[in-house]
Amino acid sequence: MQRITQVLLLTMLNGLLAQVEIDGYVKNYNAIRLNKDYDYLILRNRLRLNLNYLPSEYALGYASFDVKNDHMGDQNDLELNLREMYIDLYFDHYDLRIGKQQIVWGKADGLFITDIINPLNLREFILADFEDIRMGINSIKVQAYFGNSRLESIWIPQFVPAKFSEPGEAWAFYTPIDEIAKSIPDTLIMIYNITEPEKRLNNSEYGFRYSTHFKGIDLALSYFYTWDDYPVFRQYFQLTNNPLTPFSVTIKPEYDRLTVLGGTFASTIGPLVIRGEGALYQKRNFYTENAADGDRVVQKDFLNYMIGGEISPGKTFISGQFIQEIILDYDDLVVNDKIVNTGTLLLSDTFVNETIKPEIFVIYNFTHEDYWNRFSIKYYPVDGVEIILAADILGGKKDNKLFSQFDDNDNVYIKLKYSF
């Protein structure tokens, strides 16, 4: 009897496995910092496994795992990460996806304007592959289809913030705490632990997106009621009686609610593809120098939009984007610039039957005069194998801006990837 049970179980398991497709890759990634010591920035191996379970054409089970090994000096970290795990159900006129997932909105390349559903892992700034920057989030997504249109509804029961490097690490961001310590050196700084929204229903996030294709144009409108994934550092200054530290400041990092209205379009004019994306962030937090303001934080509406185009003559690919950020109802005491202009340029080509692909990607912030340039050559010696040799150059004229704060992190890297 026991043997029959074992045989039955094995048969069932075999049947189940026969319906599971496995793919993924193994990747080795080594980056060296371009400073006088040429110290290692990253020495990493990664195994990615994607499992697709296909019981029928009306359902799918999907899971994606990462096993990551960072080995720097004595450090030899092994990290297992469940990137995504969800179930898809396909009906005649709507689809349902439940579980940990990545939800991608927007049309911009390398930017997050309306594409803000998933929190970002910024522990390596935005230099990692985009599939690794976005963190999967537990959510329910329903997409209803009618004609050329669809209505997408998402519900995220629990807020997950963005991830950052710890202070002192290579990719640690410059924060208001650093600014205070720098500008008022004798200040006593007390920092509260960061407060996250309580885990309850009315702290959940939700959004809707309507998209359509009309006379050759792809259009979408979106609404997202969310939490800002980035904490605001509320600052409370006080005078002290201590002559050595005449000021004290209490800092309370918190997450605040945010409402984002967005829209996108994409179309073609002859050989040119044009794309655009815009979002209005209602009551976003900005720092102010107004001492009368209790916490040195003001809320302003914020507009962020992009317009871009791309063309591919022959095997060459050229893409450019212009991005503008505008703080509405601006006052001069707001620390941030009222208007910030940024441009991106991507150039790539292929040679030797598409086995060699050089690429240049540039982001330049015209307002802050800082930049990130990436020069890379991809080589595909055999099917499924990719070798990338690249350099990231970051810098700028002004200190501690988005890219210039990582001026010391210029690096060259090599990645070897085998997909299976």
Partner 1 sequence: MKRFTILLTTAVILSLGFSFGKSLTAREIMEQNEQMMNTRDERSDLTMKLINKRGKERKRQVVLYSKTDNQNNDKTLIRFQAPADVKGVGLLSIEEGGQKNQWLYLPALKRVRRISSSEKTDSFMGSDFSYEDIEQNDLNNYKYSLLREENFDGVMCYVIRSIPVDEQVKQETAYSKSDVWVRKDNYISIKVNFYNKKADLIKIMNSNDIRPVEGTDKWRAHFIEMQNVNTGHRTELLYKNIIINQGVADKYFTQRYLERGR
Q: Which residues bind partner 1 (CB under 8 A)?
A: 23, 25, 52, 54, 60, 95, 102, 104, 107, 129-131, 143, 145, 150, 213, 216, 218, 266-268, 270-273, 275, 310-312, 314-315, 350, 353-355, 382-384, 386, 417, 419-420
- With respect to partner 1, which residue has the nearer C-beta, 109 or 179? 109
Contacts of residue 241, Cβ cutoff 8 Å, sequence gap at least 6: none
Question: In this structure, what are the phi and psi dihedrals at residue 198, rounded to the nearest 5 degrees?
Answer: -65, 150
Query: What minimum distance in Å lies between the beta carbon of 104 and partner 1?
Result: 5
Rounded to a whole number of angstroms, the minimum distance from the CB of residue 414 to partner 1 is 17
Nearer to partner 1, 253 or 276 (CB): 276
> Which of residues 168 and 271 has its CB atom nearest to partner 1 in the complex?
271
**Minimal distance, residue 384 CB to partner 1, in Å:** 5
Q: Which is nearer to partner 1, 274 or 345 (CB)?
A: 274
Query: Smaller CB distance to partner 1: residue 214 or 223?
Result: 214
- For residue 21, CA distances in Å to 217, 355, 368, 418 come to 36, 27, 48, 17
Q: Alpha-carbon torsion 247, 253, 258, 263, what sign?
A: positive
Q: Would you say 101 and 86 are in contact if contact means Cβ atoms under 8 Å apart?
A: yes
- Report the distance separating Cα 29 and Cα 48, nearest Å: 14
State the minimum distance, in angstroms, from the CB of residue 130 to partner 1: 6
Instruction: Work out how close the CB of 107 gets to partner 1 at its nearest, in angstroms, rounded to a whole number.
Output: 8
Closer Cβ to partner 1, 60 or 307, answer by number: 60
Calculate the alpha carbon distances from 131 to 48, 67, 121, 338 in Å.
12, 15, 10, 32
Tally Cβ neighbours within 10 Å of residue 169.
Answer: 10
- CA gap 174, 399 in Å, rounded: 10
Minimum Å distance from CB 98 to partner 1? 16
Give the full edge-to-edge strand order of the sheet including 232-239: 187-191, 247-254, 232-239
DSSP character for 11?
Answer: H
Indicate the residue among 315 and 398 with the shorter CB distance to partner 1: 315
β 232-239/411-419 pair status: unpaired
- Residue pair 54/87 in contact (Cβ under 8 Å)? The answer is no
Please choose, from the candidates 62, 43, 45, 44, the residue with its C-alpha nearest in 3D space to the C-alpha of residue 53.
62
Which CB, 332 or 354, lies closer to partner 1? 354
Minimum gap (Å) between residue 350 Cβ and partner 1: 8
Shortest gap between Cβ of 342 and partner 1 (angstroms)? 21
Minimum CB–partner distance for residue 377 and partner 1 (Å): 17
Phi, psi values for residue 387, rounded to 5°: -120, 125
